[in-house]
Structure 1
Amino acid sequence: MSTYSGWFVIQRGHPSKALQLRTGLPIPTKIPKGHVLVQVQAAALNPVGHKLIAIVPNFVLGGSHRVPEHDVAGIIVDANSSHFKTGDKVFGTSKYIGTLTEYAVLPSSCLATVPPNVSAVEAAGMGIVIATAYQGLVEQAHLKSGQTVFINGGSSGVGLSAVQLAKSMGCKVVATASAKNKDTLLGLGVDEFIDYTQAPLIEQLLAKPRSPKFDVILDAIGLADSGLYLKSKAYLAPGGTYLTVGVFPNTLAATQGALRQLSEGFLRPSWLGGVPQKCIWLSINFETKDMENVRDLVAKGAVKPMVDSVYTFDRDGVLKAYEKMMSNRAVGKVVVKVAEE
């Protein structure tokens, strides 16, 4: 019987204690309808991944032991009567099934074929970040050519995708990052760079009156500080939209507090101190059409996947990958290479 290895979350805590590599697992031979068997070539980590491992019990996420992460690139080895065929190179994002494993049974609806101009390592990190940038800026905020967008966390995976997408649309982009990432963002076409380490970000925004104000604000890093929205009347245009990828501080209490503050600011009437501009918590779709849209954006060069670093699938490599993710210093995606292309 053919077997494979996969990583599992066995308890809450730091990845070094919470993760276990299991070997000798039988490769599935019976695939449920609507699913395909993928030999994983690469899996990308996401900022919320290690936080879920640290603070959320497994049973909340659907099982006592689960495979972590959700971004993937690989090869179809059992197409199972889907629209794919055996041997197709695919990428995608699975909401509920983990991908840090050598083989994964995934819904065919969360996958698309890899564009010809990227590697599996690059493709592994495309799904979540590019889909989030596109669905947020274009489908939900209705960003248009000539408008100005403010991207908080310009060097994050979502931020880098959003910068490139907005510039390809003919928009003016203002983005934040630390000074070491200034050249990277300016190289992508950012019109104005703000170093958030020089002074509190909100103070910097309030100190420089905006004319015109931002049409869209995208908080791409999920700040625990809700002030970016609560103070936004000073720099977000009337009718403008504030988008956030969520609020992901390191504790449940901090998350609940930030969500409460944001909700109060949105729901309270403006004459009682509420914020009149729209606030949207991004909820992203990862269906075939969404992944195909990501593929097309990459294929035509509107967005180039950006990889920060690549690690091996063994224990040393995976733990180093999580350490890099937890450092908050990654510029682009942190990828685990599971198999050779």
Structure 2
Amino acid sequence: MKALVLKSYGGADGLVMTDVARPVIKPDEILVRVHAAGLNPVDNMIAKGEFKPLIKLRLPAVMGSDLAGVVVETGSRVSRFKVGDAVFASVFDTPAGSLAEFVAVPEHVAAPKPANLDFVQAASVPMVGLTSWQALTERIKVRPGQKVFVPAGSGGIGTFAIQLAKHLGASVGTTTSTGNVELVRSLGADEIIDYKKEAFEQALHGYDAVLGTVRGDGLEKALHIVKPDSAVVSLVGPPDAAFARARGMNWLMRFVFSLLSRKIIGLAGKRGASYAFLFVRPDGRQLASIGALLESARIRPVIDRVFPFSQAKEGLAYLEQGRSRGKVVVQMVTDNPDN
């Protein structure tokens, strides 16, 4: 079968579309014929080697995290799915990769594909959906009436997190460029800062939570808009000692991450805020809950571009430019998409 494989770290030069063996599933896995795979910024970061301390890949490794497709085989202990079922899943931080014609998916990370979405739409959801869900419901514990800041509102995470925060009853502030103001407003954003015209840290105030999605000094600037007892959850780092402990890392890595996060934790503390780093985990039951929101149209996927499988590398290069409105998806199967 065809797959996009990372043969060596360093970026696009280490990625090759090649033939690999079709996966042999374990008793608790389902074999999925992939119809579409969503791309995420972390894919490019992994290819560059930036995640080597966090994710141990055995190269060559199939790339990709998000997928939607049809079950073609089930393991002996699988009980939730049968052959022919349409599913979607994140295989992030597992041995599998989604940019392949077939993927062995652990049963516990998969969920039924929302019936009202096609495979491309469904494939765009898992990583951004689970990240938003875990950040807003588990870490921040958003309550109705709170104010949540989600920067980069027109990006993959932003477009989903704005909608989920609104569903949870929050008022949402965001940043975007002039051309995307109407998009983020349509998703429910209440306070919209055009970053080309003004600085959000000067225009916003009184926020209960910040979802850190942008690398650089944006997280430190966001501390100027929070009030006491607020929560700052970062998806882009720096990792903290709590994360290292949760991953079972040794004392040296816990110490290193403690040093890396010391500055931002200290700055947050001065504002009476807490800081935490979130490393998303695959979770099929959470994904099923997200699927229910999608089926009820309370949240909608936002797709920027769709690339054919043969142009998966081009899709990753386009994503890396950082200008996408919503998600970038790779499509493997175009005939009879609902089967």
User: In 1, distance between residues paired with 2:204 and 2:21?
Assistant: 61
Please state if 1:277 is matched with 2:276.
no
Q: Percent identity?
A: 27
Q: How many Å separate the matches in 2 of 1:78 and 1:305?
A: 28
Instruction: Tell me which residue corresponds to 2:30.
Output: 36
Is contact 1:9–1:68 with CA below 8 Å preserved after alignment? yes
Shift in CA distance, 208/178, structure 1 to aligned 2, threshold 3 Å: closer
- Is the partner of 1:61 in helix, strand or coil? coil
Verify the 8 A CA contact 1:11 1:58 in the aligned structure 2.
Answer: no
The reply to whether residue 244 of structure 1 matches residue 234 of structure 2 is: yes
Question: After superposition, what is the alpha-carbon deviation per residue over 1:39-92, rounded to whole angstroms, capped at 9, x for unaligned?
Answer: 010111111211221234879632120011110101100022312000000001
After the TM superposition, which residues 275-314 of structure 1 pair with which residues of structure 2 at under 5 Å, given as runs? 275-314=271-310
CA distance in 2, matches of 1:70, 1:269: 32
User: 1:253 matched to which residue of 2?
Assistant: none
Write out aligned runs for 1:105-124 (5 A): 105-124=104-123
2:323 — aligned with what? 329
Aligned residue number for residue 86 of structure 1? 83
Structure 2 CA distance for partners of 1:145 and 1:40, relative to 1, 3 Å: same
Q: Is the 8 A contact 2:4 2:312 kept in 1?
A: no
The one-letter amino acid of 1:196's match is Y
* TM-score normalised per structure 2: 0.85
Partner residue, 2:172? 173
For residues 276 and 146 of structure 1, the distance between their equivalents in structure 2, rounded to whole angstroms, comes to 20
Matched, 1:6 2:3: yes
- Where in structure 1 are there 5+ consecutive unaligned residues? 249-256
Q: Displacement of 1:196 after TM fit?
A: 1.9
TM-score (norm 1): 0.85
**CA 1:8–1:149: 2 relative to 1, 3 Å:** same
Contact kept in structure 2, 1:247 and 1:258, CA below 8 Å: no
Query: How has the CA–CA distance of structure 1 residues 230 and 330 changed in structure 2, closer, same or farther, with 3 Å as cutoff?
Result: closer
Question: Is the Cα contact below 8 Å between 1:93 and 1:128 reproduced in 2?
Answer: yes
Superposed CA RMSD: 2.5
Contact 2:130/2:283 (<8 A) preserved = no
Q: 1:260 to 1:110 in 2, by over 3 A?
A: same
Structure 2: which amino acid aligns with 1:114?
Answer: K
CA contact (8 A) 2:147 2:207 kept: yes
Match of 1:178, as an amino acid?
A: S
Q: 1:191 to 1:267 in 2, by over 3 A?
A: closer
Q: How does 1:1-341 map to 2 (within 5 A)?
A: 4-15=1-12, 17-23=13-19, 25-28=20-23, 30-56=24-50, 61-81=56-76, 82=78, 83-95=80-92, 96=94, 97-199=96-198, 201=199, 204-205=200-201, 207-208=202-203, 210=205, 213-221=206-214, 223-225=215-217, 228-229=219-220, 232=223, 234-247=224-237, 260=259, 262-267=261-266, 274-314=270-310, 317-340=311-334, 341=337
When the two structures are aligned, how many residues end up with a matched partner?
314
Unaligned runs of 5+ in 2: 239-255
